[in-house]
Amino acid sequence: MTERKKILLRLDPAVHDAVARWAADELRSTNAQIEFLLRRALGDAGRMPGDAGRPARRGRPPRRREGEGVDDVARDGTGGTGDGDGGPGDDGGVEPEPR
């Protein structure tokens, strides 16, 4: 997996508060909401790079069992099986609705 870039972003406090409230309404972190908005704006403007990775999956990453290494957890990078059986690593296959 490619290392994610880190940036310092200065925002007007009122803008930050509005984004944070919106994020909470959609059960996202403020950081994930900002990335969601940037990706949507890039897509709408036709400027989304073809090599841009997919956004991180929602939810908690699966727990590792004792003795499991990183290579033993979902090799496709999704973090879960999405098969809906509720078993270990199941993320329910839930993805955000497109806008």
Please enumerate in sequence order all residues whose Cβ is within 8 A of that of 37, keeping only pairs 6 or more positions apart, or say none: 19
Which comes out higher in pLDDT, residue 17 or 53?
17
The pLDDT of residue 63 is 81
The pLDDT of residue 84 is 53
Residue 62 has pLDDT above 90, yes or no: no
Residue type, 53: G
Give tens-digit pLDDT for 40-54: 999 999 998 888 877
Q: How confident is the model at residue 96 (pLDDT cuts 50, 70, 90)?
A: low
Residue 12 has pLDDT above 60, yes or no: yes
